[in-house]
Structure 1
Amino acid sequence: MEKVLLITGGSRGIGAATALLAASQGYRICINYLSDHAAAEKVCSKVRELGAQAITVQADVSNEDEIIRLYTRVDAELGPVTHLVNNAATIAHVSRLDDISEFRMLKIMMSNVVGPMLCSKHALLRMSPRHGGQGGCIVNVTSRVSCLGAPGEYIDYAASKGAMDTFTIGLSKEVAGEGIRVNAVRPGYIFTDFHALSGDPFRVSKLEGDLPMCRGGTPEEVAQVIVWLLSDKASYVTGAFIDAAGGR
């Protein structure tokens, strides 16, 4: 079976690190991005230098029409998706619930919950034997805050990741008999520019001393876990959660 990997939010951070690590392992790779074309193309060039066939596709993966367009491009240029990493997500500035608007809540839930569910739906339409597929693998990038709640910071984001944890459990059981594995990685404080969206780009540096391992993590360390879960080395692993959070 040809291995076709779609990584949503693949132009930066954990998504980009996953693409680069997977490049030498026989995957054809689609790097999805929302707006930063230059960053996506830079990652794609590096992936190609490592010997993998790769494309970039811009799409807002919280919108089903755009998801359909994304998958159609991948079908035509790489083949049907066999492996999916639901990595794209958003966050907002630190805030108490009292000050969080309905618009912000809806945006968080559409990007972090509905979007990955829809991406998984369209992956199943290619992976499942019910639709002519031969199985596959989905890895959801959630967050350690799904277990902690993020009080006084961004409980809407934490709730969205908690929803993805529940989705991971349910979907893993729903499709286990169809040769499709579904797992999740829960990163903690990782050095990426994602934290700038919460209003504090230096958040990890400020807080890493409080972690049991006394340091923040790197995107490459999280990517190692994701790529292992994608691989046949994890062939009997489904419905599992791996915390990449330095003991937090």
Structure 2
Amino acid sequence: MTRSVALVTGGSRGIGRAIVARLARRGHAVVFTYTSDEVGAGESAAETSVLGVEVRAVRCDLRDTDAPERMIAATKELGDLVIVVNNAGVTGPIGPLSAVTDETVAQVVDVNLVATLRVCREVVRRWEAQAAQGDRSIVNVTSIAARTGAPGEYVWYAASKAGVEALTVGLAKEVAGAGIRVNAVSPGTTDTTIHARAGRPDRAREVGARTPLGRPATPDEIAAAVEWLTTTDAGYVTGTVLDVAGGVR
């Protein structure tokens, strides 16, 4: 039998690392990307190697024009690509829109929205050309910020994630006839290092305390929702943005 393969962007830490682990435990071979975190990438691959499936890390900048082709090529060596999770994302420093630089805006939009759109395009091209049978699933990781707008923190990040949600809904309708499902998971505040990289290491605890559940999410709680959307249990779910936000609306 041909082994099923999952592709995950941004799999060296946080939510992405938890997604890699869950998909590997489900028996999929996994290719994941990372930008610079060699240590985290090695740890992520090592954690899942004991499960008896092959997990490979591919270092690439998602803004590179050949990034989607390189990622997809890496999956071909392992088996049949059936799952794509667009998880990688950046915020830039926390602050008001008036203080953000053009460089930060360009990086955030390019990584969060443009790269996700390009990965989706290349994967859909290949799946449609193969006239593939069986369930094929794309899951995009967005953010509750797409709805709240993240005022005073990173409205440019919120805007990029809102774009990903629009992409998810539109593409799902476009490719449903080809047997391709496209969904998104919208996390609330999650306890990862993204907050420290944005300049607020205590943000997850502070914001999480104000949610109805009174705490931030764990990466694995977000990964569980992503995993479910890739399974046949969610076979009639497409074009859906699934909130995992502790009750925040």
TM-score bucket of the superposed structures, by smaller chain: over 0.9
Q: Match for residue 210 of structure 1?
A: 210
Which has the higher mean CA deviation after the structures are superposed, 195-204 or 108-117?
Answer: 195-204
CA distance in 2, matches of 1:234, 1:247: 22
Q: CA-atom RMSD, angstroms?
A: 1.3
Query: Which secondary structure does the structure 2 equivalent of 1:221 belong to?
Result: helix
Bigger shift: residues 47-56 or 7-16: 47-56
Aligned to 1:102: 102
Answer yes or no: is the 8 Å Cα contact 1:58–1:70 preserved in 2: no
**Distance in structure 1 (CA, Å) of the matches to 2:58 and 2:153:** 33
Task: Tell me the distance in 1 between the aligned counterparts of 2:79 and 2:126.
Answer: 10
Q: Structure 1 counterpart of 2:57, which letter?
A: T
Q: Which residue of 2 aligns with 1:36?
A: 37
The one-character-per-residue Cα deviations of 1:42-61 (angstroms, maximum 9, x if unpaired) are: 11111111222211111111
Give CA-to-partner distance per residue, 1:171-208, whole Å, 9 cap, x none.
Answer: 00010000000000000111000111211111011222
Gaps in structure 2 of 5+ consecutive residues: none
Alpha-carbon distance, 1:22 to partner: 1.4
Give the match for residue 53 of structure 1: 54
Which stretch shows the higher mean deviation, 136-145 or 45-54?
A: 45-54
Deviation at 1:137, TM superposition (A): 0.4
8 Å contact kept, 2:190–2:219: yes
Q: How does 1:1-248 map to 2 (within 5 A)?
A: 2-75=3-76, 77-128=77-128, 130-134=129-133, 136-248=136-248
- The structure with the greater share of residues assigned to helix is 1
Distance in 2 separating the partners of 1:245 and 1:151: 17
SS at match of 2:32: strand
Partner SS state of residue 56, structure 1 = strand
Asked if structure 2 preserves the Cα contact closer than 8 Å seen for 1:82 and 1:123, the reply is no
Superposed displacement of residue 106, structure 1 = 1.1
User: Sequence identity of aligned pairs in percent?
Assistant: 37
Cα displacement string for residues 66-99 of structure 1 (whole angstroms, at most 9, x for unaligned residues) = 2222222222x21342110000011111121112
Output the amino acid matched with 1:73: A
Residue aligned with 1:147, SS: helix
1:238 match: secondary structure: coil
Deviations 1:207-228 (A, max 9, x none): 2221100111100001110000
Distance in structure 1 (CA, Å) of the matches to 2:155 and 2:190: 19
For 2:15 and 2:240, the matched residues in 1 are separated by 19
Which letter maps to 2:17? A
Aligned residues: 246
Give unmatched runs, 5+ long, in structure 1: none
Name the CA distance, whole Å, in 2 between partners of 1:47 and 1:64. 29
| Cα contact 2:31–2:74 (8 A) shared by 1 | no
- Contact 1:34–1:59, Cα closer than 8 Å, also in 2: yes
Per the normalisation by structure 2, the TM-score is 0.95
Select between 18-27 and 167-176 the one with higher mean Cα deviation. 18-27
